[in-house]
Amino acid sequence: MLGNFQQSQLRIELESSASVIHDSLLRPVQLEKWLLGQRFAPGMPEQLHQGFVFTTWTGLIPIHHQVNVAKSDCLRLLLSGGIDGFHEWYWGEGWVQSRLEGVSILPINLGQTLNLLSLRQFLTTQRS
């Protein structure tokens, strides 16, 4: 894999319940509404589950995901392709935390920041 090793860990506060955050992260129909710049392959399940494998595209760059952990308060994805590494999500009442590590030519910190801001905006509009 070409690129540099990068790591980023961000946590934001949200005015949202843990169950709404859960649905926004584990239900692909919701995930597609706020995840910026990602196209999903067809055939996604109603909810992500351990062992499920899928691909998204950032422009022409594919990122392969394997769901390693999918719980009521945690999601861990093993990544390959455009990013070789992992992405962990943890959440609770009013907060979400994202940890991303991997080798990539993509600016993962910038993408992670924009995605968390997009998630916050999406959850704000869900409340309205």
Are 12 and 24 a contacting pair, CB within 8 Å?
Answer: no
pLDDT in tens, 62-106: 999 999 999 999 999 999 999 999 999 999 999 999 999 999 998
C-alpha of 78 from chain center: 11
Whole-model pTM above 0.85? yes
Predicted pLDDT of residue 24: 95
Average pLDDT in the 18-46 region? 90
pLDDT in tens, 42-52: 889 999 999 99
Domains and CATH numbers, the chain: 15-127 (3.30.530)
Task: Tell me the residue type at 94.
Answer: G
The token pair at 115 is 């995605």
C-alpha closest to that of 73 among 19, 12, 35, 30: 19
Distance CA(80)–CA(65), nearest Å, equals 7
Proportion of the chain above pLDDT 70, given as a percent: 98
